[in-house]
Amino acid sequence: MANHASAEKRNRQRLVRTERNKAVRSSVRTAVKKARTALAEGDSAAKDKVAEASRELAKAAQKGVLHPRTASRTTARIQHALAKQG
């Protein structure tokens, strides 16, 4: 439990940031899942979904929600799968 004003403020900030990060992380996971599903099914819209997932990953890395290398690695893997598809 926070015992002084600055610690209470840090706790409030932590709660706000945690909620924001959860929202960003959730949207990233959804976009990546959609891209992987489209690639697995051979969907014609797979290219658009991969691009959207790459955009979401880059934004999350820029905001500090994901580590930049994690975002880069995930992007590379879905791009590679797209190139492999044809």
Please report, for the domain that includes residue 15, its CATH number.
1.20.58.110
The model's pLDDT over 21-60, given as tens digits with 9 standing for 90+, comes to: 999 999 999 999 999 999 999 988 999 999 999 999 999 9
Q: Report yes or no: 71 and 31 within 8 Å, Cβ to Cβ.
A: no
Hey, is 43 helix, strand or coil?
coil
Helical residues (DSSP H) of 42-67, grouped into ranges:
46-63
Supply the range of the domain harboring residue 60.
Answer: 5-85
CA 51, chain centre distance (Å): 13
Record the pTM.
0.87
Q: Report yes or no: 56 and 28 within 8 Å, Cβ to Cβ.
A: yes
Over 90: is that where the pLDDT of 85 sits? no
Q: How many domains does the chain have?
A: 1
Q: Report yes or no: 70 and 60 within 8 Å, Cβ to Cβ.
A: no
Per-residue pLDDT at 66: 97
Average pLDDT over residues 71-79: 98
The length of the chain is 86
Cα–Cα distance, 41 to 55 (Å, whole number): 21
